[in-house]
């Protein structure tokens, strides 16, 4: 009887291990198939491209004579916002991925760059000029109405929090480039980093608990990870070449980023837990993972 029980227990454990392995493999495979948008000049000028996380099925979305930059997916994954100078100065455009039609969202005479979607998909925050010598963060509705100037003190690189309540950004307002948080109603300004070296380009983890950012604090550009409550800090990349512009996978296990570690800016993927890293695209910058 004891042998039967032991045999049953072993079979149950084996079955559990098999199910767990299949689940992990399916999750990993699902993530590897999720698309990443990025900018590449491989066709002659800066276009928006997409590629799967396993390196398959690359596609040039814009194929224009203009220069595009800063691609970012809509929360439902059906559209991409990006900045383009196709009408002279940079404006924010939105492309529908079904037919690749695009609209000029901002229609501004001054540059509008670095779009980030609200989690509910109804608004976009971006940076634009507030004067000749300053940048600020603006918020606009998707019908181009109700433009709100959220900040105006040399503020760049907005990143909307997953819960929709805050925007992270970089600012020179205190005499050095640091990462800040602000509520979308303009209250609750909080300085997240404090270092003599510049800190750039915040990116939220999917659970809204952590932020990655670029920093020069170790002598070259590295990607750091900080907990927004405990303020713990980890250098993720630890590489002698320059790394930056990180984007989180939707399951929070990987980041895509730009690096010149092979003497040309390329896109890499890193497993956050193991730090295992591989090159995804041999010529590209500013990767952005599709959320779903």
Give me the percent of the chain exceeding a pLDDT of 70.
Answer: 88
Residues 162 and 209 grouped into a single domain: yes
Prediction pTM value: 0.88
97-106, 126-135, 225-234, 275-284: least confidently modelled range: 126-135
More confident residue, 10 or 164: 164
Q: Provide the edge-to-edge strand list for the sheet that holds 35-40.
A: 59-60, 47-52, 35-40, 285-289
Above 60 in pLDDT, residue 81? yes
Annotate 258-276 with b (16+ C-beta within 10 A) or e (fewer). bbebeeebbbbbbebeeee
> Please, are residues 190 and 165 in contact by the beta-carbon 8 Å criterion?
no
Tens digits of residue pLDDT in 101-110: 999 999 999 9
Based on the fold, state whether residues 48 and 193 are members of the same structural domain.
yes
pLDDT in tens, 5-29: 344 434 433 433 333 333 333 344 5
DSSP assignment of 121-146: SSEEEEEEEEETTEEEEEEEETTS--
Helix or strand (DSSP H, E) at 92? strand 89-96
pLDDT at position 16 is 35
Same domain, 116 and 247: yes
3-state secondary structure of 18: helix
Domain extent at residue 252? 35-289
Q: d(Cα 106, Cα 100) in Å, to the nearest integer?
A: 18
d(CA 203, CA 161): 9
d(CA 192, CA 211): 10
Mean pLDDT of all residues in 40-64:
94
Split at pLDDT 50, 70, 90, the class of 32 is: low
Q: What is the pLDDT of residue 25?
A: 39
Please determine, for residue 273, whether its predicted confidence score (pLDDT) is greater than 90. yes
For 113-128, how does the pLDDT look when each residue is reduced to its tens digit (9 = 90+)?
999 999 999 999 999 9
Query: Within this chain, do residues 129 and 16 fall inside the same structural domain, yes or no?
Result: no
Instruction: Give tens-digit pLDDT for 191-202.
Output: 999 999 999 999
Both 101 and 125 in one domain: the answer is yes
DSSP string for residues in 152-165: -SSEEEEEE-TTSS
The pLDDT, as a whole number, for residue 33 is: 67
pLDDT at 60: 96
* Mean residue pLDDT across the chain: 90
Q: Which helix (H) or strand (E) holds 243?
A: strand 243-248
Distance, in Å, from the CA atom of 143 to the CA atom of 118, rounded to the nearest integer, reads 14
Confidence (pLDDT) at 23? 37
252, 242 Cβ separation under 8 angstroms: no
Q: Are residues 126 and 103 in the same domain?
A: yes
Q: Are residues 25 and 113 in the same domain?
A: no
- 74 and 150 share a domain? yes
Note the helical H segments in the chain. 2-33
> Are 4 and 54 contained in the same domain?
no
**pLDDT for res 158:** 98
Give the model's pLDDT for residue 2: 32
Q: Are 212 and 224 in contact (CB under 8 A)?
A: yes
Percent residues over pLDDT 90 in the chain: 84
5 and 90 inside one domain: no
In the chain, how many domains are there?
A: 2
Q: What is the pLDDT of residues 206-250, one digit of tens each?
A: 999 999 999 999 999 999 999 999 999 999 999 999 999 999 999
Mean pLDDT on 268-278: 97
Pick the range with the lowest mean pLDDT from 25-29, 179-183, 225-229, 281-285: 25-29
The CATH number of the domain where 129 resides is what?
A: 2.120.10.30
pLDDT at 7: 46
Q: Long-range contacts made by residues 235-242, C-beta under 8 angstroms, separation at least 24?
A: 236/212, 236/270, 236/272, 236/275, 237/270, 238/275
Whether residue 43 is found in the same domain as residue 14:
no
């Amino acid at each position: 009887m004891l042998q039967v029980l032991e045999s049953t227990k072993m079979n149950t454990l084996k079955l559990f291990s098999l199910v767990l392995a299949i689940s992990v493999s399916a999750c990993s495979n699902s993530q590897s198939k999720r698309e990443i948008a990025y900018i590449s000049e491989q066709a002659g000028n800066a276009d928006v491209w997409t590629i799967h996380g396993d390196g398959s099925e690359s596609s040039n979305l814009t194929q224009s004579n203009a220069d595009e930059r800063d691609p970012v997916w809509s929360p439902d994954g059906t559209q991409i916002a990006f900045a383009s100078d196709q009408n002279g100065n940079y404006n924010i455009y939105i492309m529908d991925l079904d037919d690749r039609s695009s609209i000029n969202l901002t229609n501004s005479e001054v540059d509008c760059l670095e779009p980030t979607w609200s989690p509910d998909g109804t608004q976009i925050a971006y940076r634009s000029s507030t004067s000749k010598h300053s940048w600020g963060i603006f918020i606009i509705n998707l019908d181009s109405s109700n433009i709100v100037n959220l900040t105006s003190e040399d503020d760049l690189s907005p990143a909307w929090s997953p819960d929709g309540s805050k925007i992270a950004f970089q600012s020179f307002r205190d005499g050095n480039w640091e990462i800040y948080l602000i509520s979308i109603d303009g209250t609750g300004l909080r300085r997240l980093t404090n270092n003599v070296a510049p800190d750039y380009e915040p990116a939220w983890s999917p659970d809204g608990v952590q932020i990655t950012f670029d920093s020069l604090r170790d002598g070259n550009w590295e990607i750091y990870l900080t907990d927004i409550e405990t303020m713990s800090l980890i250098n993720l990349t630890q590489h002698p070449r320059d790394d930056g512009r990180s984007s989180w996978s939707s399951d929070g296990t990987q980041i895509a980023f730009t690096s010149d570690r092979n003497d040309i800016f390329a896109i890499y993927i890193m497993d956050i837990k193991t730090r295992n890293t591989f090159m995804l695209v041999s010529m590209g910058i500013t990767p952005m993972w599709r959320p779903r």
